[in-house]
Structure formats: structure tokens, C-alpha cells
């Protein structure tokens, strides 16, 4: 099992355990002062793992509560966050509380934001149960909720005290949930490790489902993301590279009211943004073809019945937008992102995005 401390602000404040059976490390990371445990996850994941987690926590705390919400992006809102907080207050929880965020990216983001604001901030332990959460959402301390204006527009950085990445939990994933995580794994390879990209290409048959998957996939993604966020915790520079594909992805999610899964949206976003990079950053056409071929082989690029005019309004809500201009983090090559001095995002004209959308993705308007 891989055990790492993550270092932020010149001190270690997050313990990371990765591998088969990592959930068994829960007593090892639990602090004596955490006398109350609040387990937060959606109803599906609570049904799968709630009893198991409760048995491990009961001997460690004086009081415990399990809070659940309806699965899906529609629950990642300020209203649901308020209900969770009110439940904690009604039950008399205080600053001795530790929140255990159990589940996928939505649970990690929502529970993390509850922890960040409850009593002006209490500790969090992340226990991600999906590939997407294990390789991405659980690492780095981003929390947030969606609004009618766009995705993740309200949130705060709140580093977890520990992250337990138990690869055994991936066996419960549906094919769609697995593919969501594979899209993020490909993204990690594009932004930071060309050899890892080649490894994914060479192992596609084994990566089409979680059964028997090599733990190297999860560990390498975590190494990549951990290295980036430890250098740039607050996304003032290099951490922006983790948003590759996400400007277009969030627009697709918004335009379809989240009926397109996050993984498929990110895959489509990477193809469009890589097409922009061909024109703007000298990203090679061959690299774009390799990226598209890999995403297709991983069943991540179905046809979208969506035109550019459908997604264009949602670019106005992107968090990276500055001075009214769309900004993207774009690849210079497979494994290396483009930079302009210390800037890791580049201003992109809407016409470039439209042209790449029309050429590389789906129907024109």
C-alpha cells in the first residue's frame, strides 16, 4: 500500500493511503480530538458502504451521524448543503466533529464544503469510492456547489486531513462511472506524463472495466495530481493545468442540464481544446489523433446531439474567464502544457473554439 504525506504551506497536513484495503487505515488516521463523526454521502453509496464505515468508526467516537442525499448533480447545491448543516446543528454536533466524505466527486465536493463552513471549519477525511474521485476529486482540497449560473461557482479550498483510496471499492462501479474516471486519468497523462499516456494506450482492453485493473493507474494519477497541488494549492499557476478539457466540459454539462456524464463531457472537452491547441500552441495533429483514438477506444466519445450555439452561452460562467475573455489550459505536447511566462492559461477566441468544435466533435450550427 502506498502511504504519502501531502505537504501544503510548508507543513504536512494530509495523510494519503492508496491501495487494496486502504479503508482499514481509518483508525490509524483518526485523531483523538475527533469525538464526533459525520458520514456524508449519497443514498447509493451509503447503502453500499455505510454499515461497513459505521462499524469502523463507532469505537473511535462518542457520537456519530450518517447523512445522505439524492444521487446526482442536482443535489450539489447550496440548498442541500444547508440541509446537511442543519441536520448537524439539530443533532448537537460541535467543533469536535470530523466529516467523513464518502462517495464520488459530488459527495467529496459537497461534504468537503460542509466541513469547510460548519463551525467555521472542521476536519475532513475523504474516502472516495469511484475512480473519478480516487484519481482526482479527493486530492487537493477543492470543494464547491453548483448554481444556476454554472458548475462549481461557489466553493472554498479546504484540505482533508486524510484521504483513504481503497481500490477494492472500485468493483462496485457501473461502466458509466468507471468511464468517468478514465477520462480524468487520460487528462492527467496529457497534462503531465507522455509515457503514462502511452501506458494507457497499451492497456486499453484491461482498462475498459475495474475488474483486475492495475493499481498503477490509480497511483500514477494520484502522484501527478499531488505533485501539482502541492506546488500550487490555491490554483494561482500550474494547478490550472488540471482544468484541461473542463472549460468545454462544464459548458456541455450546463447545456444538457447534466444529462451528459462528467467523464463524457471531459472527453469531448479535451478533443475540442486539443483542437484549439493545434492552432494556438503547435500541439501536433498526430497527438490530437492519438488522443481522439484513445478516447474512442475507451468508449468515451459518443456522438453528442449538441451544437456550438447550445454551449456558447455557458462559457461566460467559466471560473478562468478574465477581462471578459475565455481562457483555457492547453497542451503543447502529450505530457506538457503550454505556458506564457508564468501563465498556465491562454486567452482563446470564441471563433477558435467554434472551429475546433465543428471539425473535431460534432454537428455545426
Is 146 one of the catalytic residues?
no
Measured distance CA(50)–CA(68) in Å, rounded: 10
Is 79 one of the catalytic residues?
no
DSSP string, 55-118: HHHGGG-SEEEEEEE-SSGGG-SHHHHHHHHHHHHHTT--TTEEEEEEESHHHHHHHHHHHHHG
Phi, psi of 41, rounded to the nearest 5 degrees: -165, 170
Is 239 one of the catalytic residues?
yes
Q: What are the grid coordinates assigned to 207, written together?
A: 482498462
Out of 184, 223, 233, 253, the active site residue is 184
Is 250 one of the catalytic residues?
yes
Helix segments in the chain, DSSP class H: 26-29, 43-57, 78-90, 105-117, 131-132, 175-192, 194-202, 216-231, 246-255, 262-280, 285-297, 308-311, 350-360
Give the Cβ contact number of residue 63 at 10 Å.
14
Which residues are CB-contacts of 174 (< 8 A; sequence separation ≥ 6)? none
What pairing do the DSSP bridges indicate for beta strands 336-337 and 331-333?
Answer: antiparallel
Out of 126, 146, 180, 243, the active site residue is 243
Measured distance CA(159)–CA(98) in Å, rounded: 13
Out of 262, 280, 319, 354, the active site residue is 262
Is 360 one of the catalytic residues?
no
Out of 250, 280, 319, 354, the active site residue is 250
Out of 15, 81, 179, 246, the active site residue is 246
Give the Cβ contact number of residue 355 at 10 Å.
17
Is 246 one of the catalytic residues?
yes
Is 340 one of the catalytic residues?
no
Out of 151, 187, 225, 319, the active site residue is 225
Report which DSSP code applies to 340.
Answer: B
Out of 15, 76, 151, 239, the active site residue is 239
Out of 11, 79, 120, 148, the active site residue is 120
Is 63 one of the catalytic residues?
no
Out of 15, 76, 81, 142, the active site residue is 142
Catalytic center residues: 120, 142, 184, 225, 235, 239, 243, 246, 250, 262
Amino acid at each position: 500500500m502506498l502511504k504519502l504525506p501531502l505537504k501544503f504551506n510548508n507543513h504536512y497536513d494530509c495523510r494519503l493511503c492508496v491501495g487494496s484495503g486502504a479503508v482499514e487505515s481509518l483508525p490509524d488516521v483518526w485523531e483523538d480530538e475527533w469525538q464526533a463523526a459525520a458520514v456524508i454521502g449519497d443514498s447509493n453509496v451509503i447503502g453500499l458502504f455505510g454499515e461497513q464505515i459505521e462499524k469502523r468508526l463507532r469505537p473511535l467516537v462518542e457520537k456519530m451521524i450518517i447523512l445522505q442525499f439524492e444521487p446526482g448533480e442536482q443535489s450539489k447545491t447550496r440548498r442541500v448543503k444547508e440541509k446537511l448543516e442543519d441536520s448537524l446543528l439539530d443533532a448537537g454536533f460541535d467543533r469536535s466533529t470530523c466529516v467523513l466524505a464518502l462517495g464520488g466527486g459530488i459527495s467529496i465536493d459537497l461534504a468537503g464544503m460542509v466541513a469547510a463552513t460548519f463551525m467555521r471549519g472542521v476536519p475532513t477525511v475523504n474516502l472516495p469510492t469511484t475512480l473519478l474521485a480516487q484519481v482526482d476529486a479527493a486530492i487537493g482540497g477543492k470543494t464547491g456547489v453548483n448554481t444556476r449560473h454554472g458548475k462549481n461557482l461557489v466553493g472554498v479550498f479546504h484540505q482533508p486531513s486524510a484521504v483513504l483510496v481503497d481500490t477494492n471499492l472500485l468493483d462496485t462501479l457501473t461502466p458509466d462511472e468507471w468511464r468517468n474516471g478514465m477520462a480524468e486519468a487520460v487528462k492527467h497523462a496529457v497534462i503531465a506524463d507522455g509515457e503514462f499516456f502511452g501506458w494507457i494506450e497499451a492497456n486499453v482492453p484491461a482498462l475498459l472495466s475495474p475488474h483486475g485493473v492495475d493499481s498503477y493507474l490509480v497511483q500514477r494519477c494520484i502522484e501527478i495530481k499531488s505533485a501539482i497541488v502541492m506546488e500550487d494549492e490555491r490554483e494561482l499557476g500550474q494547478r490550472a493545468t488540471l482544468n484541461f478539457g473542463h472549460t468545454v466540459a462544464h459548458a456541455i454539462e450546463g447545456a444538457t442540464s447534466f444529462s451528459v456524464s462528467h467523464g463524457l463531457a471531459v472527453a469531448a472537452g479535451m478533443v475540442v481544446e486539443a483542437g484549439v491547441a493545434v492552432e494556438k500552441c503547435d500541439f501536433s495533429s498526430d497527438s490530437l489523433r492519438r488522443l481522439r483514438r484513445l478516447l474512442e477506444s475507451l468508449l468515451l466519445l459518443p456522438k453528442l446531439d449538441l451544437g456550438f450555439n447550445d454551449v456558447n452561452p455557458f462559457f461566460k460562467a467559466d471560473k478562468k474567464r478574465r477581462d471578459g475573455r475565455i481562457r483555457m489550459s492547453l497542451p503543447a505536447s502529450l505530457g506538457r502544457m503550454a505556458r506564457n511566462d508564468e501563465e498556465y492559461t491562454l486567452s482563446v477566441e470564441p471563433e477558435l473554439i467554434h472551429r475546433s468544435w465543428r471539425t473535431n466533435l460534432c454537428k455545426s450550427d
